[in-house]
Amino acid sequence: MTGFDDKNVLHILGEKIKPGEKRTLNFNLAKLYTTTSVEVPIIINRSKKPGPCVLLTAGIHGDEINGVEIVRQVISKKINKPARGTIICIPVINVFGFLNMERAFPDGRDLNRVFPGTRNGSLASRFAHQFSTKILPVANYCLDFHTGGGSRFNVAQIRVDPSDSELMELAKIFGAPFIVYSKNIQKSYRSTCARMNIPVLLFEGGKSQISDKDIAREGVHGAMRILEHLNMLSKDFTPPEFNNKTITIESSTWIRAKYSGLLHLKTTCGDFVEKNEIIATITDPYGFFRHKVKASNDGYIINTNEASLVYQGDAIFHISTANNANG
C-alpha cells in the first residue's frame, strides 16, 4: 500500500509514519559496479494536524546544484516542519549523476525524459517507475527545482502550462521574477504529475554545477509562499513579500551565434533589451574579427549562454517575444 489510511497514517516504501512523526527513509536506487547500494534519502516531516502532502524534489539532473541547495536550505532551516499535513523533501533524486556531476543516469538517459518509466526497462526507466508508483502517489502538490543546462544561465522562473488555471495561480503565489509559459514535455516528470492530477510547479534558475545564492534565495522564498498559501508554513516563519511585478513570458525565441569565436556578453540575464541593441560580441582569438550580436526584438533575456567559446549556430540568448507584467 502507498498513501494515507483512514487513521491518517502514511504508508510509503514499506514503512508506516504516523501524524507528528518525522523520518528519513532510504529509497534503494541500484548498486554500483562494486555492489555497493546507492540510496536516495527521503526526508519526511508530518504534523499532527491533517492537511495536504507537498513533495519537494531536486537533482533529477545530477549536475543541477542550485535545486539541491534550495531543498537543502528548506530542510536545514526547518521550513519543512509543517503546521499541518506532510512535507516530503528529496534533495537529490539522481544520486548517480550527482556523484559524477553529470546530467544523465549511468545508462546515458535523461531521467526527465523517461517518466513514468517501466518495470523492466533501462536503469533510468526502472527508477522512474519505482518513483512514480511508490512515492509520487502520496503527493497533493509538487515543487520541482532545476537549473539551466550546460553553460546556460536561466533567470529565476516558474514554468507552467497556461491552460491550467490552478497552476497559474500557484505560480503567481510562488512569486519568482518570471513566469514562463511552457507546455509539458512528453515523458517528463511534470507530464507524469499532470496525468496523475498532481499540481506541479517547475522552478528554473541559474546554471548547472554552480551554486548561486540569489537563485537559491528565490527558490526558498517561493517554497515558503506556497506553504503559507496552503496553511502549512510554521508560525516560526514569515514568507518574504514579493514587491516587484512578476513578468509573464507568453512566447520566446532563441538568438543563435552567426559566427564561431569568443563570446563577450554585454547584458545580464533578466534584463529588458530593445530591438537592435548590442547584447554581445563574438571575436576571433587573433584580434582581426569582431561581430556585434543584436537583439532580434524588444524583450526580456531569460536565458544566457555564459560559455567563453561558441560555435556558429549555438544558442546564446533566449529572449521573450510576448510578455506582460502582473502586479
- Supply 316's cell numbers: 546564446
The answer to pTM > 0.85 is: yes
pLDDT in 10s for each residue of the chain, 327 residues: 899 999 999 999 999 999 999 999 999 877 778 888 889 999 999 999 999 999 999 999 999 999 999 999 999 999 999 999 999 999 999 999 999 999 999 999 999 999 999 999 999 999 999 999 999 999 999 999 999 988 999 999 999 999 999 999 999 999 999 999 999 999 999 999 999 999 999 999 999 999 999 999 999 999 999 999 999 999 999 998 876 689 999 999 999 999 999 999 999 999 999 999 999 999 999 999 999 999 999 999 999 999 999 999 999 999 999 887 764
**What CA–CA distance (Å, rounded) separates 314 from 308?**
12
- Supply 198's cell numbers: 498532481
Does 254-326 match 3-229 at the fold level? no
Query: Per-domain residue ranges for the chain?
Result: 3-229, 254-326
Structurally, at CATH architecture level, domain 254-326 sits in Beta Barrel (2.40)
**What CA–CA distance (Å, rounded) separates 72 from 170?**
22
CA–centroid distance for 214 within its chain: 15
- Supply 291's cell numbers: 561581430
**What CA–CA distance (Å, rounded) separates 49 from 311?**
56
CATH superfamily of 3-229: Zn peptidases (3.40.630.10)
**What CA–CA distance (Å, rounded) separates 276 from 291?**
13
Residue of 7, 35, 10, 8 lying closest to 134 (CA atoms): 10
Residue of 315, 310, 318 lying closest to 285 (CA atoms): 310
Lookup result for grid cell 526497462: 121
In three state form, how does the secondary structure of 212-223 look? CHHHHHHHHHHH
